[in-house]
Amino acid sequence: MAPVSKEIVIRQEAPTDVDAVRNVHQLAFGRPDESELVESIRQSDSYIPELSFVALIDDQIVGHVLFSIVHIDTEPEQKRVLALAPLAVRPDYQRVGVGARLTHHGLAEAKARGWDAVIVLGQPSYYPRFGFQPSHEFGIESPFPLNDPSAFMVLELEEDALENCSGMVVYPDFFMTLT
């Protein structure tokens, strides 16, 4: 584990960071799936370059988070929201606050850019610290089969942003291939 005393710098991902970001995801997850998801998002209409962030320690990229556009299929029209996915931190820098810093920064930037809600599929023991709540409390459904329904969560960045908004979240097709 890396020392906690190192300064963590968060900045927007640059085009020159692609290889380092790929490496972070492959190390964090031990497989290529999430790094391929990042590349698929970058090539899609869901990509928002201003909402892709890297964490640096000693000028080395040790973490990455990406927010992209998804929809809630609600009547009478779809509501555009953000998906936080994926979030990765190199194993040797986990549990020292890198993921939390990336998440806090990304959520603040999303709110500043006018987004009012974020969806995440993740650890129910991790994401509530940022204000995420189980999506079923809002009537919002996951398109993914879940062993634990509380793993699919939402965060309102603006109060009552999801009021009267229920339905299935619609992700781009490439999300559905992630195992």
Give the CATH number for residue 77. Answer: 3.40.630.30
pLDDT 10s digits, 40-79: 999 999 999 999 999 999 999 999 999 999 999 997 789 9
Does residue 3 lie in a domain region? Answer: no
Does residue 1 lie in a domain region? Answer: no
Q: How far apart are CA 18 and CA 134, in angstroms?
A: 32
pLDDT 10s digits, 79-100: 999 999 999 999 999 999 999 9
Do residues 64 and 13 lie in contact, with contact meaning Cβ atoms separated by under 8 Å?
Answer: yes
98 Cβ neighbours under 8 A, 6+ residues apart? 8, 55, 57, 62, 63, 89
Domain count across the chain: 1
Q: How far apart are CA 78 and CA 76, in angstroms?
A: 7
Q: Read off the tokens for 176.
A: 């559905």
Does residue 35 lie in a domain region? Answer: yes
pLDDT at residue 3 is higher than 50: no
- Structural domain of 57: 9-177
The end-to-end CA distance of the chain, in Å, is 27
Does residue 128 lie in a domain region? Answer: yes
Q: How confident is the model at residue 178 (pLDDT cuts 50, 70, 90)?
A: low
Residue 176: its pLDDT value, please?
83
Residue 5: its pLDDT value, please?
59
pTM: 0.94
Does residue 4 lie in a domain region? Answer: no
Q: Read off the tokens for 71.
A: 């929809």
pLDDT 10s digits, 106-139: 999 999 999 999 999 999 999 999 999 999 999 9
Do residues 120 and 54 lie in contact, with contact meaning Cβ atoms separated by under 8 Å?
Answer: no
Other residues' Cβ atoms within 10 Å of the Cβ of residue 21: 22
Q: How confident is the model at residue 164 (pLDDT cuts 50, 70, 90)?
A: confident
pLDDT 10s digits, 6-32: 799 999 999 999 999 999 999 999 999
32 Cβ neighbours under 8 A, 6+ residues apart? 26
**Helices 18-29 and 33-42, packing angle to 10 deg:** 150
